[in-house]
């Protein structure tokens, strides 16, 4: 198949998968807001600020690795590419683990002032943050390896699995079920 045909096929598959994933995400967001009360949604939205800032904990190393690995492979420096992958992955895991420990410490330090819901939410967030950082880094490496069709399938399957887990667990356990579904989604992926 020609380059243009391959590019068109991959673009179409990715766009279709992305659209499907967004439909699932929108439906799930509406469901979650209908099931959780204002207090639980308020706690989740507040903690999402922390979760969003943890994205920056690897200091852009995932993006740099995603750029440098293909560059080094193109220059036939496979050992350098492997070293970049290993060092950046180790740094990402170490910083994610350190942030998780800080969140656990903060949960215990603030437990008496913020209440049980916030305490358990921050504990769940510490696990979620760690697994999210590891998963995001792995997807970045897959992009560097030009595994776009795999990433597309992964995103669609992940969205379906996450939606199923969320619906089952949130109806049974509320906000804690939501946290558990997100952690399990990252662990299983």
- Span 102-119, average pLDDT: 92
pLDDT value at 7 more than 80? no
User: Residue 14: its pLDDT value, please?
Assistant: 80
CA angle, residues 16, 20, 25, in degrees to nearest 5? 145
CB hemisphere CA count around 165 (13 angstroms): 20
pLDDT value at 91 more than 80? yes
- Span 116-129, average pLDDT: 92
User: Residue 1: its pLDDT value, please?
Assistant: 64
- Span 54-60, average pLDDT: 85
Confidence of residue 140 (pLDDT cuts 50, 70, 90): confident
Q: What is the pTM of this model?
A: 0.82
- Span 35-47, average pLDDT: 88
Q: 11: which residues sit within 8 A by CB, 6+ positions away?
A: none
Number of neighbours of residue 44 by Cβ within 10 angstroms: 19
Q: What is the dihedral of CA 14, 19, 20, 21, to 10 degrees?
A: 80
Q: 40: which residues sit within 8 A by CB, 6+ positions away?
A: 117, 174, 175
pLDDT value at 166 more than 90? yes
Contact 43, 37 (CB under 8 A): no
For the ranges 31-35, 124-128, 143-147, the lowest mean pLDDT is seen at: 143-147
Mean pLDDT for all residues in the chain = 88
User: Residue 63: its pLDDT value, please?
Assistant: 83
Confidence of residue 37 (pLDDT cuts 50, 70, 90): confident
User: Residue 106: its pLDDT value, please?
Assistant: 94
């Amino acid at each position: 198949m020609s380059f243009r045909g391959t590019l068109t096929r991959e673009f179409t598959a990715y766009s279709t998968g992305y659209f499907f994933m967004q439909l699932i995400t929108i439906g799930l967001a509406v469901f979650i807001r209908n099931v959780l009360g204002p207090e639980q949604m308020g706690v989740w939205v507040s903690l999402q600020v922390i979760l969003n800032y943890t994205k920056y904990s690897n200091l852009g190393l995932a993006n740099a690795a995603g750029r440098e690995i293909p560059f080094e492979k193109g220059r036939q420096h496979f050992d350098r590419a492997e070293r970049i992958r290993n060092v950046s992955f180790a740094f990402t895991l170490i910083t994610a683990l350190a942030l998780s420990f800080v969140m656990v410490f903060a949960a215990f330090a603030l437990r008496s002032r913020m209440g049980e819901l916030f305490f358990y939410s921050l504990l769940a967030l510490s696990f979620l943050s760690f697994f999210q950082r590891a998963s995001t880094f792995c997807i970045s490496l897959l992009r560097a390896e030009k595994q776009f069709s795999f990433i597309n399938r992964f995103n669609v399957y992940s969205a379906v699995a996450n939606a199923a887990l969320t619906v089952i667990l949130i109806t049974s356990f509320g906000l804690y079920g939501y946290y558990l579904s997100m952690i399990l989604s990252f662990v299983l992926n």
